[in-house]
Amino acid sequence: MRNLSYALAFVAVAGLSALALLPDNVFAQANQWGTSVKGQVVFPGDPPKPKELQVTKDQQHCLGKGPILSEELVVNPADKGVKNVFVWITKPDGSKPPISPELATVKEKTVNLDQPVCAFVPHALGMREGQTLVVNNSAPVSHNVNWSGSRANNPGCNVIVTSGSKHNVPNLKADKDPIKVKCDIHTWMNGWIRVFDHPYFAVTDADGSFEIKAPPAGKYQIWYWQDLGFKGGAAGNKGFPVEIKAGAVTDLGKVEWK
Check if the beta carbon of residue 177 is closer than 8 Å to that of residue 206: no
pLDDT in tens, 15-58: 444 434 444 333 344 469 999 999 999 999 998 998 999 999 99
Check if the beta carbon of residue 201 is closer than 8 Å to that of residue 36: no
Residue ranges of domains in the chain: 1-30, 31-256
Residue 216 to residue 244: CA distance in whole angstroms: 7
Q: Cβ contacts of residue 121 below 8 Å, gap of 6+?
A: 113, 114, 115
pLDDT in tens, 149-199: 998 899 999 999 999 999 999 999 999 999 999 999 999 999 999 999 999
pTM: 0.87
Looking at domain 31-256, does it have CATH number 2.60.40.420?
yes
